[in-house]
Amino acid sequence: MVKMLSLVAPAIMASVALLPIDRALADGEVNIYSYRQPDLIKPLLDEFTKRTGVETNVLFLDKGLVERIQAEGANSPADVILTVDISRVMEAKEGGVTQPVTDNETINKDIPAHFRDPAGEWFGLTTRGRVVYASKERVEQDEITYEELADPEWKGRICIRDAQHSYNIGLIASMIAAHGEEYTEEWLTGLKNNLARKPNGGDRDQAKAIFAGECDIALGNTYYVGLMQTNEKEPEQKDWAAAIKVLFPNTADRGTHVNISAMALAKNAPNRDNAIKLMEFLASGDAQEIYAEQVFEYPVMPGAEPSDIVKAFGEIKPDTLPLADIAANRKKASELVDKVGVNEGPNG
């Protein structure tokens, strides 16, 4: 059984006093601190418990996960950390709340080297492409590059979410890794000039803007397309998804920038053995396919299949530049966003 506990943006001191997970010392439990929504990982954790008998407890936080573990200190009940992108798992490592898992053949054989930390402090589980959403009605081309987003032909036709959001920072960091800081500054300036409006909303809102005719192309993650296509609670999102096609940038050269969901072993994991069992399970092909199908992402294990919905987006050629190298450029990317004034919009 998965025990799900949710806490949004907790204050650090309050998080210690209101700790909702008792320190689990029993052999049959593992505690997971997760940035990923509980309902998205529940099928995966249910299968883990079915196979091992180990119960899982999940604490969901939308922010402040690293600060919470730091505040809990040596008494933290956290065993495994699950994150939704490279920036957040790097924050965990840099914040000193992870520990290395080295020489684990089970994990290393299923996760390619460019999707794991060289020091063994984090491991990618699934990937998603940072792609271009394009209007089916107003955009004829089926191929594009990130570099082209700065071309004048797209003036007034591009929508993006907050340029400082970790998804966009990851893409900008990959541009720095590929082209250098000077080129990326010029590229960002061109992109800013091509915006239809100030950056706002989330990735789904960019598809909505295309549907409404506010812009013709946008940056977004692949998995949001699957979430929109299958959204029964807000069926209007199906119309947004139907209005766009997915273009995978740079398929003819270095490939499309991908980000990861990732796992890490918490620094003071009280249930270390069970935590390793869970990490080994999550690295397996079976688990990656379950996880990838649930969240509409791609398994990192070579040969593991994405869901039929994801396959329908088209074939992705991922950029093979190590994510650790891309993540090293996050600070520069953030500084360039402010320097260029991307979030001020095209007229700012």
Annotated binding site for Fe cation: 223-224
- CA 247: distance to chain centroid? 18
CA 116 to each of CA 169, 207, 340: distance values in angstroms, whole numbers, following the listed order? 19, 31, 32
- Whole-number Å distance between alpha carbons of 77 and 269: 7
- Whole-number Å distance between alpha carbons of 195 and 152: 11
- Whole-number Å distance between alpha carbons of 263 and 44: 14
Tokens of 293: 């199908």
- Whole-number Å distance between alpha carbons of 65 and 97: 10
For residue 268, give the amino acid letter. Answer: N
- Whole-number Å distance between alpha carbons of 57 and 274: 12
- Helices H, strands E: what count in the chain? 15, 11
Q: Which of 81, 128, 130, 85 is nearest to 330 (CA)?
A: 85
Mention every residue, 6+ apart, whose C-beta is less than 8 A from residue 77: 19, 21, 22, 23, 24, 31, 270
- CA 169: distance to chain centroid? 12
| Numbered residues of the known binding site | 223-224
- CA 100: distance to chain centroid? 21
DSSP lists the bridge partners of residue 245 as 134
For residue 90, give the amino acid letter. Answer: M
